[in-house]
Amino acid sequence: MSGPSSDCAAILTNISSYLDGELDATACAAIEAHCATCPHCAPLVQGLRRTVGLCREAGSAPLPEEVRARARDRVRRLLDERTRSDS
Ligand SMILES: [Zn+2]
């Protein structure tokens, strides 16, 4: 079993909530914990951490909408692929 799991879909959903500005510390912790063990999500989260400051400390400036939109699009596409590749 090397394919993405349903956990991955849950994590991607969390990330997309973050991009909508709704992620709390608990969800952030779940993302971090998942990425410590998941080779599928770790590179994505690392990239998002660089580009959109995923789960960075509070108090930083809001993201430009354009950056959010791009990242959101990327996450949704992945989510879509993963859902489809299940069958
Ligand atoms: Zn994963």
pLDDT, tens digit, 9 for 90 and up, residues 5-40: 789 999 999 999 888 888 888 999 999 999 999 998
**Chain-centre distance of CA 14, in angstroms?**
6
Q: How far is CA 12 from CA 4, 39, 52, 57, 61, in A?
A: 11, 14, 14, 20, 23
- Which residues have C-beta under 5 Å from ligand 1, the single-atom ion? 8, 38, 40-41
**How far, in Å, from the CA of 39 to the mean position of ligand 1?**
7
Q: Is the pLDDT of residue 58 over 80?
A: no
Q: What does the pLDDT average to over 59-69?
A: 79
Domain ranges of the chain: 6-84
**How far, in Å, from the CA of 27 to the mean position of ligand 1?**
14
User: pTM for this structure?
Assistant: 0.74
**How far, in Å, from the CA of 81 to the mean position of ligand 1?**
13
| % of the chain surpassing 90 pLDDT | 46
